[in-house]
Amino acid sequence: MGVLKDRIASDLKDAMRARDQLRLDTLRSALSGFVYKRTESGRELSDADELDVVRRLVKQRADSLAEFDRGGRADLAEKERREREILLAYLPAQRTPEEIRQIVAGVLADLPPESRNPGAVMKIVMPQLRGLADGNLVRQVVTDLLSSP
C-alpha cells in the first residue's frame, strides 16, 4: 500500500468516528479510484499513480463544480467544492498564479520570438508544473503573457 493510500485509509476511519458523511464519501471515492486504477493497470500502484488518481478526482470535482454553477445548482456546486477541498489536501501544495507567471516568463525569455505561441510554451511549462498547478490556470497565464507587450 502506498503512503497516500495509507493516509487516506486512516483519515477515512477518523471520518467514520466523527460521523462526517461528506468526508467519508469523498475518501471512499478516492480508495475506490485506487482499486479501479490497480485493476485497470494489473499492477500495484506507485506513489505517482496514487497522486494521479487523486488529481483526476480533483479535476472531476472542478469540472462538475463549473457545470453546477452554470446550471444554477448552488447546493450541488457547494458539495463539489467541499469534496474538491478535501481531496486537494492530499496533493502537493499548488503554485500560486504569481509563481506560475514567473515560470512562464522565464520560459518566454528563453524562447526565440518565432517560437512564442501558446502550444509551444505550454509544451515546455506543463512538465515543470505537472501536479503543481491547474492546467487551465497555466493556460490563462500563458495567454495573458503572450498577449501583453
- 80: helix, strand or coil: helix
Find, among 132, 127, 52, 57, the residue nearest to 93 by Cα.
132
- pLDDT value of position 1: 56
Band (pLDDT 50/70/90 cuts) for residue 53 is very high
Q: What is the CATH number of the domain that holds 37?
A: 1.10.1510.10
For residues 102 and 83, membership in a common domain is answered with no
pTM recorded for the entire structure: 0.73
- pLDDT value of position 11: 95
- 87: helix, strand or coil: helix
Domain of residue 133: give its range: 97-147
Per-residue buried b or exposed e for 11-48, using 16+ beta carbons within 10 Å of the residue's own CB: bbeebeeeeeeebbebbebbeebbeebbeeeeeebeee
Q: What is the CATH number of the domain that holds 118?
A: 1.10.10
Alpha-carbon span 79 to 76, nearest angstrom: 5
Q: What percent of the chain has a predicted confidence (pLDDT) above 90?
A: 50
Domain count, the chain: 2
For residues 22 and 77, membership in a common domain is answered with yes
Could you read off the pLDDT of 78-115 as tens digits, one per residue?
Answer: 999 999 999 999 988 888 888 999 998 888 888 888 87
For residues 84 and 136, membership in a common domain is answered with no
For residues 59 and 120, membership in a common domain is answered with no
